């Protein structure tokens, strides 16, 4: 008969003595089933925590918070290897724990994988807009312009307009879009009259060379005047020190201040913001503007898009039916959205 002292001994001591844990089946190392997969379960809980509480990840060291948020939807892929390992280990506790990140991801992004409703018929309360970074290395600006015009939007916003390609965009779009405004390397083409065009200073203090990437125009639509902003925020970089976003964040703050001071109630922002809507670096914008609903619509890089950094946002309007358009000669995909005015 096993003594009380022997029964109370830890599993590894009983293993050494050639005994089994009563009522359990050990693994190849003799550990009981209830002890298997605890590390996997912990990783599952950590994944769920990062999804739900991503704002708690500090940004003070290497902008780790922004880095996580830039790829937040992809964090759900961690469930796949964890699930495989949990099956391999035959760990019930790990399989149960995996329900947490699945639930968290579904709560945050589940609606984006549902079939999108078809856009409604055009009426005077809706605008269709297209946003595209056309790339300063684009060798087919005419083809790019035709692709954008084929979507029949009311407004087309472009970034990285270079002097050699600008005349081509003007000529190709002129018939369908008789109104346009250019400031620096950003431009806006419209079916409706544009007035009050001016540059918007979003240049970070660290940039000393000539740099103009923001404009504001009043679009006189059939249902009222809308302030349209077109912007191209600085790029972010991966460096030894971490995720370099300081210039992008400063530019977003300047743009946010300009929009906050906008006196027209209805505002549309179209731009290459070099950040996803989850990225806290864009908080000066996402905190006061409605963002696109209903689709991931990843735009960059065009060859294998992993995130949407080309954005359409609005105030006093709902942004919906976000979708990407066919690839052009750019390293970004164009994105189209429908705006329903409030």
The residue ranges of every structural domain in the chain are 36-113, 126-341
Q: How much is the pLDDT for 240?
A: 78
Strands (E), the chain: 126-133, 155-159, 179-183, 186-190, 194-199, 214-221, 224-232, 237-239, 242-244, 267-272, 310-315, 317-324, 335-341
Q: How much is the pLDDT for 292?
A: 80
Q: How much is the pLDDT for 20?
A: 52
Half-sphere exposure of 59 (CA within 13 A, CB side): 15
The string of DSSP letters for 260-277 reads HT--SS-EEEEEE-SS-T
C-beta of residue 232 within 8 angstroms of C-beta of residue 185: yes
DSSP state of 175: T
pTM: 0.84
Strand partners, 341: 317
- Residues near 95 by Cβ (< 8 Å), separated by ≥ 6? 37, 83, 86, 87
Q: How much is the pLDDT for 133?
A: 98
Q: How much is the pLDDT for 252?
A: 98
Distance, in Å, from the CA atom of 82 to the CA atom of 94, rounded to the nearest integer, reads: 8
Which of 339, 248, 328, 233 lies closest to 294 in space, CA to CA?
Answer: 339
Residue 33 class from Cβ within 10 Å (0-12 exposed, 13-18 middle, 19+ buried)?
middle
- Rounded to 5 degrees, φ, ψ at 227 are -85, 115
What are the distances in angstroms from CA 141 to CA 153, 170, 233, 330? 18, 10, 22, 9
Q: Cα dihedral sign for 144, 115, 276, 301?
A: negative
User: Check: CATH 3.40.50.300 for 126-341?
Assistant: no
CA 309 to chain centre: 6
Which of 266, 320, 267 lies closest to 291 in space, CA to CA?
Answer: 320
Which of 37, 50, 121 lies closest to 83 in space, CA to CA?
Answer: 37
SS3 159: strand
Length, in residues, of the chain: 342
Q: How much is the pLDDT for 14?
A: 55
**Residues 97, 101, 103: CA angle, nearest 5 degrees:** 100
- Rounded to 5 degrees, φ, ψ at 254 are -65, -40
Q: What is the pLDDT along the chain (342 residues), one digit of tens a residue?
A: 555 455 556 545 555 555 555 444 555 555 555 567 899 999 999 999 999 999 999 988 888 999 999 899 999 999 999 999 999 989 999 999 999 999 999 988 887 776 555 555 545 568 999 999 999 999 999 999 999 999 999 999 999 999 999 999 999 999 999 999 999 999 999 999 999 999 999 999 999 999 999 999 999 998 899 999 999 999 998 887 788 899 999 999 999 999 999 999 999 999 999 999 999 999 999 999 999 866 789 999 999 999 999 999 999 999 998 999 999 999 999 999 999 988
Which of 333, 312, 310 lies closest to 128 in space, CA to CA?
Answer: 312
Which of 183, 187, 181 lies closest to 141 in space, CA to CA?
Answer: 187
Distance, in Å, from the CA atom of 224 to the CA atom of 275, rounded to the nearest integer, reads: 30
């Amino acid at each position: 008969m096993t003594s009380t002292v022997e029964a109370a001994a830890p599993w590894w001591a009983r293993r050494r003595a050639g005994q089994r844990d009563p009522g359990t089946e050990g693994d190849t190392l003799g550990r009981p089933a209830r002890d298997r997969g605890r590390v996997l379960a912990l990783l599952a809980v950590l994944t769920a925590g990062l999804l739900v509480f991503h704002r708690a990840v500090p940004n003070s060291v290497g902008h780790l918070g922004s880095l996580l948020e830039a790829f937040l939807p992809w964090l759900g892929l961690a469930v796949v290897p964890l699930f495989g390992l949990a099956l391999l280990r035959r760990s019930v506790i790990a399989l149960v724990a995996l329900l947490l990140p699945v639930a968290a991801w579904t709560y945050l992004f589940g609606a984006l994988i549902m079939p999108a409703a078809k856009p409604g018929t055009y009426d005077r309360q809706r605008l269709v807009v297209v946003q595209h970074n056309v790339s300063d290395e684009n060798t087919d600006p005419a083809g790019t312009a035709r692709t954008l015009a084929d979507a029949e939007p009311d407004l087309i916003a472009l970034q990285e307009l270079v002097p050699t390609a600008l005349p081509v965009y003007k000529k190709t779009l002129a018939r369908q879009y008789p109104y346009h405004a250019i400031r620096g390397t950003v431009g806006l083409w419209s079916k409706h009259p544009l007035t009050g065009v001016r540059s918007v200073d979003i240049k970070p203090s660290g940039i000393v060379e000539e740099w103009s990437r923001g404009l504001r125009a009043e679009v006189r639509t059939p249902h009222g005047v809308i302030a349209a902003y077109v912007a191209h925020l600085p790029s972010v970089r991966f460096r030894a020190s971490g995720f370099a976003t300081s210039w992008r964040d400063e530019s977003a703050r300047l743009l946010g201040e300009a929009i906050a001071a906008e006196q027209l109630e209805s505002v549309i922002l179209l731009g290459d913001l070099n950040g996803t809507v989850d990225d806290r670096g864009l908080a000066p914008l996402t905190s006061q503007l409605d963002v696109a609903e209903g689709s991931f619509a990843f735009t960059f890089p065009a060859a294998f898009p992993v995130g949407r950094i080309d954005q359409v946002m609005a105030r006093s309007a709902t942004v919906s039916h976000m979708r990407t358009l066919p690839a052009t000669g750019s390293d970004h995909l164009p994105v189209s959205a429908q705006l329903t005015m409030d």
